[in-house]
Amino acid sequence: EILELRKHRRHDKPVVLLNTAGFYDGLVIQLRRMEQDGFLPLRLDELVYVTEEPDAAMTYLQSSVGGAA
């Protein structure tokens, strides 16, 4: 639901998908296909930040909200 809201610019909060041990690989593949086929009004990297590393997720979130912790 939150991706849908972000996709339609109903909110601008950062979204992170923590893909631990490849758990969300199928979803990431589907989202990439949706982007390639023109079903996303935003580039995928504008919609969601995907990482397997918790530290990278935290760094992204901190930089997205101006460094606030």
Please tell me which residue, 65 or 16, carries the higher pLDDT value.
Answer: 16
**Domain at 2-64: CATH code:** 3.40.50.450
In whole angstroms, what is the distance from residue 38 CA to residue 27 CA? 16
Give the pLDDT confidence of 18-64 residue by residue, as tens digits.
999 999 999 999 999 999 999 998 899 999 999 999 999 999 999 98
Q: Are 45 and 23 in contact (CB under 8 A)?
A: no
Radius of gyration of the chain (CA): 12
| DSSP label of 49 | E
Q: Helix, strand, or coil here: 59?
A: helix
| pTM, entire model | 0.83
Break the chain into its structural domains and give their ranges.
2-64
